[in-house]
Structure 1
C-alpha cells in the first residue's frame, strides 16, 4: 500500500497546491528535504510551479464553464451554445420613425423623395426612407417612415466552387442583409439548409460576437454551390441600438433632394413629429440565458401564458426593433377561443420605457401566426411602469469616504433594478432591498424612509423601475 498522502482534487487554489505538494514531499522524502521556510530556494521553485498550476487549472475550469449557457461569459461561446438548441442571439435592432418631408414652397407637380434617402440628426445618427415619399402638386408636406441605419454595397469575393464556402462582411454591426446576388441572380436567405434541396439557391447568415456577418452557401446536397468564378455581391445595413430611439424633432437634415415630374431637383427639409421606437442594443447573455431554454421547450408551439411571454421577449424584427419587456395575460377563456393580450414596453435612447409602435406589435402577431393555437386571438398593447423612490439614513463603517459609500449603494441598487432581474408584475420585497443596501461595502447599517414595506405593482403588467435615490450618510 502506498505511503503517499492522498491528494485533495477539490482544493485547486495556490495555497492548497503548495500544502498538498509539501505533504507529498514529507511523506516520500522525510529525511531529504526538511526545510520548507519561505526563504528556501526549493520553496521558491515549489511556489512558482504552484502558481503555474493554479493558472492552468483556472483556465481549464473557465473553458469548461464556457461550454454551458448557464455559466458562459464570452458572447461567442453563448452564441455557440444557443445555436445547438436552435436559438439565435439577436443583434442590435434599428428603430423606426414617422417623418415629415417639407418643401420650401409649393411646386406645380408631384415631388418624389426616393426610398433610401438618408436623413440625419445633429449627432450624425442616420435614418433611411423605407419607401418613396411623394408630395402632391400644390402641397408642402409629405409623410413616410424611416429606419435607423445605413446601407452598404460590397463585393464579397469570387466563388471557388467548393462546398460550404463562406464570405465575411467587412463592416461590423450588421443588422440586415437586404440582398445577396451571385453573378446577376438574387439568392434567398434561409434559417437553415435542413430543408433546402440540391438546387436551392439559398444562403444562411451568421453574426458573431463582434457583430461581423458571415454568408454561408450550400454543398450541392442541401443548397446549391455558387458556380466557380461567379461574383458574390451583397447589399446590407449597419446600425441599430438604443441610440436610434431619438426624441421628436431631432431629424434635421436630408442628405439628398426631391425631384419633380421633370426630374429637376427640389430642396426639401425633414423633421420627426414623434419619437422613434423599437431600437434595442444586441441581446445580452443574461437575456439569452433566461429565454433560450424556455423558447426551446416550446418546440414551435404557443399554448400557455408562459409560451407567449417567452415568444414576445425573444422576438426581434430587422426593420421594426424588439420589445424591451413583455408579458402575456389571458383575459378571456372559453371553449371556443382565448384572448391573449401581450403587454409590452420599448425603450428610448436614454433607457427609459415607452409604448411599442403599432407596426412592431402587428409584426409580432404576424410572426406567431403559424405557432399559436388556431383559436387564440392575440393583441399587443402598451404595458405600464411605476418608479420606486428610495431614501433613508446610512451609517458608514470607519475608513470609508462618503462618496465611496454612496457609489457602492447606488451600484447595488442598480443591480437590484436591472431590467434583466425584474419582470412585469414582480414585487420589490423590502427584505431584498435591505439585503442589497446592507451588503454594500462600507455600510454599517441602513434605515429606510421610503419605501417602508414591500412595493407591489398596481397590475400584473406593471413594471417597477428605479426612481430617485437619496441617502443621508454619516
Structure 2
C-alpha cells in the first residue's frame, strides 16, 4: 500500500530529526556532551582546560666509578634511556645536578619525553595562531621565545596588558596544539618578521610509567675540563604519574569541582579538587584536625597517589606543593605524604563445575581478583567488603561456589591507605 509506505517514510524521517535535535541539545551541556571538542569548548567557558598527556616523573641517579678532583655538573636537559622490548623510553633531567669532588653519585629529578623545537616567523596578524607539529605534547611543557625573549603561558588574556608577553596553548579534540598570542589590547602581538621559537616535550603518557632500575643508558655526553666523563645511570625509584590525555568523564567531574573551589584552597573539598585536578595525580585524600587529633590546627595533610599507582615522585610532590602553596591561606601548613598500599591476601577454596578446565578456572579467578583490586577502582580509606569478594568469585565463569578462609570479614582500610591485592592462595577443585 503506497499510503502506508509514505506514512512509514514520514515516521522514519521524523524519528531521525528528533534524534538530531536531542543529540544537538545534549551537546550543549557538560554532563551530557559526548563529543570531545564540545566538552573542550564548554569547559573553556568556565576557565577549565582539559589536560593533555602527562609525562611520568622519577629520580635518576648518576654514579662515578671513583671520586673526581673537581665538582662535576650534570646540566638540566641531560637525556637518558630505558631500553624495553616494545619501546625505548627517554627521560630528561629538569634541573642541574652536581657531584661534589668527594662523592661519587647524585640524584636528579627527571621527566619522560623527547625535547622538540620548532621555529616560525611572525606575520603580525593578531588572529593567526601557530600550529605545532607535535601530537603528544606533555602538559605544561611548552615554552615560547620571540626574538630570544621568553614569553609566559597564561590560561586567558583577561589580565594581560597591551605589552604583556603572554601566549595561550590550545589543544583540540584531534590533539592539534595551537599557540595563540594577544590582539594588541589584551596581550602583545609579535612584530612582523620576528623569529618565534617553540620548545616542548613529546611524551608517551601512561606508557612512560615503568619500574625501578630500568633506565640504564646515558644519551648526553658529560664533559669535565674538556674530557668525557664515564657515568652510570639508573632510576632507583619507579617512574610514576604518567597519564594519557584527560578523559571526558574526568573533565565532567573535575571541572565543576574546581569552579566551586574558585581555584583557592580553603576547605577540605577545595584541597581535594585542586589536588586531584593537578596533572599526574590520580587520587588524593585530605586530613585535617577534624580527622586526626595528632594534626594541629592550620595544618593539612594530603595523601597523594600518582597516575598509574605506586609512590609519587619527589618532582611531582614538589610541583604539587608549589601549586597548592600559591592557592592556600597564608597561615596553613601543607604536608604531602605517600599513600600506603594495604595488601589484602586471599585464601580460598574454589569449586568448579564438572567438565570445566581447572587451570582455566584458576586463571579466570586470578584475573577477576586483579581487576577487582585494580588501582583505578580503589579509593583512599575504602574498605574491602567480604560479601563483595564472595560475590566476585561466585560470579566467575565455571565456578560453582567458593569457601573463603582469608579474609573472613570486612577489611578495614585506614585513612591514607589504598587496598591492593596481596598474596593469593587458591585451591581449585571439583
TM-score, structure 1 as length reference: 0.74
- The answer on whether the counterparts of 1:196 and 1:223 sit within 8 Å (CA) in structure 2 is yes
Stretches of structure 2 that go unaligned for 5 or more consecutive residues are none
3-state secondary structure, aligned to 2:158: helix
Aligned to 2:29: 68
Q: Deviations over 1:214-273 (max 9, x none)?
A: 211111111112222323220111115233333222112111312121x23333332223
Matched, 1:290 2:246: no
Match of 1:131 in 2: 95
Q: Secondary structure at the residue paired with 2:242?
A: coil
Match of 1:308 among 231, 246, 271: 271
Indicate the larger mover: 183-192 or 271-280.
271-280
Is residue 2:336 matched to residue 1:380?
A: yes
Structure 1 match to 2:146: 182
Instruction: Supply the distance in 2 between the matched residues of 1:413 and 1:360 (Cα, whole angstroms).
Output: 30
Q: Distance in 2 between matches of 1:160 and 1:453?
A: 72
Q: 1:328 aligns with which of 286, 295, 305?
A: 286
Does residue 280 in structure 1 map to residue 206 in structure 2?
no
> Secondary structure at the residue paired with 2:301?
strand
**C-alpha RMSD of the superposition:** 4.0
**Paired residues for 1:86-165 under 5 Å:** 86-103=47-64, 108-123=69-84, 124-137=88-101, 140-155=104-119, 157-165=120-128
Matching of residues 22-421 of structure 1 within 5 Å: 42=5, 54=15, 57-103=18-64, 108-123=69-84, 124-137=88-101, 140-155=104-119, 157-175=120-138, 176-261=140-225, 263-316=226-279, 322-331=280-289, 337-347=297-307, 351=308, 353-388=309-344
Please report how far the alpha carbon of residue 85 of structure 1 lies from its aligned counterpart in structure 2 after TM superposition.
1.9
TM-superposition CA deviations, 1:389-437 (whole Å, max 9, x none): 67676888xxx99999999989987776665554312234566667778
Q: Secondary structure at the match of 1:94?
A: coil
Asked which structure has the greater CA Rg, the reply is 1
CA distance in 1, matches of 2:425, 2:253: 29
User: How far does the alpha carbon of each residue in 1:19-54 deviate from its partner, in whole angstroms, 9 at most, with x for none?
Assistant: xxxxxxxxxxxxx868x6xxxxx3xx7667656655
In structure 2, relative to structure 1, the CA distance for the partners of 1:122 and 1:204 (3 Å cut) is same
Unaligned 5+ segments in structure 1 are: 1-31, 37-41, 317-321
Report the Cα distance in structure 2 between the residues aligned to 1:374 and 1:113, rounded to whole angstroms. Answer: 36
Contact persistence 1:309–1:327 (CA under 8 A): yes
| 8 Å Cα contact 1:65/1:72 also seen in 2 | yes
State whether structure 2 residue 424 is matched by structure 1 residue 461.
Answer: no
Question: Residues 470 and 294 from structure 1, CA distance in 2 versus in 1: closer, same or farther, beyond 3 angstroms?
Answer: farther
Instruction: Classify 1:218/1:243 alpha carbon distance in 2 versus 1 (closer, same or farther; 3 Å).
Output: same
**Cα distance in structure 2, aligned partners of 1:53 and 1:414:** 48
Q: 1: distance between equivalents of 2:310 and 2:188?
A: 45
Alpha carbons 1:105, 1:140 under 8 Å: kept: yes
Following superposition, the deviation at residue 192 of structure 1 comes to: 1.2
Match of 1:28 in 2: none
Between the aligned partners of 2:357 and 2:313, the Cα distance in structure 1 is 46
Shift of 1:345: 1.9
**Contact preservation (8 Å) 1:112, 1:132:** yes
Decide whether aligned partners of structure 1 residues 154 and 73 sit closer, same or farther in structure 2, where only a CA change above 3 A counts: same
Name the structure 2 match of 1:7: none
CA distance, structure 1, for counterparts of residue 115 and residue 93 of structure 2 = 11
Residue 469 of structure 1 deviates from its aligned partner by 9.8
SS at the partner of 1:290?
helix
CA distance in 2 between partners of 1:405 and 1:285 (Å): 36
Q: Are 1:97 and 1:147, in contact at CA under 8 Å, matched by a contact in 2?
A: yes
C-alpha spacing 1:217/1:285, structure 2 compared with 1 (3 Å): same
Q: TM-score, normalised by structure 2?
A: 0.80
Q: Is contact 1:151-1:236 (8 Å) kept?
A: yes
Secondary structure of 1:195's partner?
coil
Q: 1:190: Cα distance to partner?
A: 1.4
- Provide, for residues 89-123 of structure 1, a one-character-per-residue CA deviation record: whole Å limited to 9, x for no partner: 22222233322323466655554443322100112
